[in-house]
Amino acid sequence: MKILVAMSGGVDSSVAAMLLKDAGHEVVGATMKLWGGVSDSGCCSVSDVEDARRVASRIGVDHHIFNFTEEFEESVVGHYVDAHARGLTPNPCIECNRKVKFDLFIDRAIRLGFDKVATGHYARVAQAGDGWRLMRGMDAAKDQSYVLSMLSQDRLARLILPIGEFEKPKVREIAAAAGLATAAKADSQDVCFIASTTSRVEFLSRRTSLHPARLVASGSRRVLGELPAIEAVTIGQRRGLGSAGDSSRRYVVEVDRARGEVVLGSLEETLVHEVHFGEPAFTGSPLRAGDAIECQISAHGRPARAVYEEGRAVFESPLKRVAPGQTIAFYRGEEVLGAAIVA
């Protein structure tokens, strides 16, 4: 089988490429150049490209660079900035997967004559009859099925996830035994296009207009302080809100853009029994009203039991309010059923 492996320069994709080569497949590695600016905290640095090239040379496969900087700027960075400007809290990693890594990359692979595409994500793709199922990775601590939850059947049909059956220590062990340069490399963290020395507010201020906001107490609307940018505030946020002069923990329970106010309240005030969302994307057959599911609202969040209804999920037990713009992923046991953007 002819397989194009997305090699990020990390240990996971390095091992994915090696396993496929050792299994006898015709493997080619490709690294996506996505972000043209400063990057020191994600997976888009110059050193990552060089690491991928070194691994490709070590395992004996060709390596290419695909330049998707313009598409990344428009579909991921632009979307991130625009969403914040509209008071939403986007997930850029999911947008990157959906619009670049599993859209542009797969389309190019098809045009180049590859049968399949592989990545180093900790998740599994299993064939079920004449279709495909997306499953959690075997390593619960590293499971990345959440960020793949918007993949459709046609994308899953093209995808191989070689390390989904492994735990992370085993992956590093395999890489070390093979002498791969990435064996001990740390995992990428944070948003790749915002450097660790740059705050989110600073990054956004260079690309959109930001507006200050008053911090007010729920109920009394007593002014508790100020924030430099209402656009950078997230529902449920606790950090970075200053002190109200007592030891009480306060959370963002409402963002009133019209009044320029961020309302702070107790943890209990953040709890909700349902989440509303936009048009869902399913990995297979669509869910029906009344279906019992589990919902996950962050990459490593705990699944919450719920009932699926049209445009909303009703939870068995209350949970913290989900920020509009975030992704809610639907599961049934180990299987990913789909996802939607919180309204």
| Distance (Å, whole) CA 56 – CA 100 | 22
DSSP state of 277: B
Pick the catalytic residue: 43, 93, 192, 295? 192
> Is 44 a residue of the active site?
no
Q: What is the largest CA-CA distance in the chain?
A: 68
The reply to whether 43 belongs to the active site is: no
Q: Which residues pair with 276 in a beta bridge?
A: 312
CA dihedral 169, 173, 175, 179 (to 10 degrees): 150
Structural contact between residues 315 and 296, judged by C-beta atoms closer than 8 angstroms: no
Token pair 């008053």 is at which residue? 214
Write out the two tokens for 183. 């064996």
User: Which residue among 43, 44, 93, 96 is the active-site one?
Assistant: 96
Alpha-carbon 108 to chain mean position: 22
Report CA torsion sign: 18, 19, 23, 28.
negative
- How far, in Å, CA of 177 to CA of 192, rounded? 29
- The two structure tokens encoding residue 85: 């400007």
Residues 6+ apart with CB under 8 A from 200: 194, 232
Q: Any idea which residues carry the catalytic annotation?
A: 96, 192
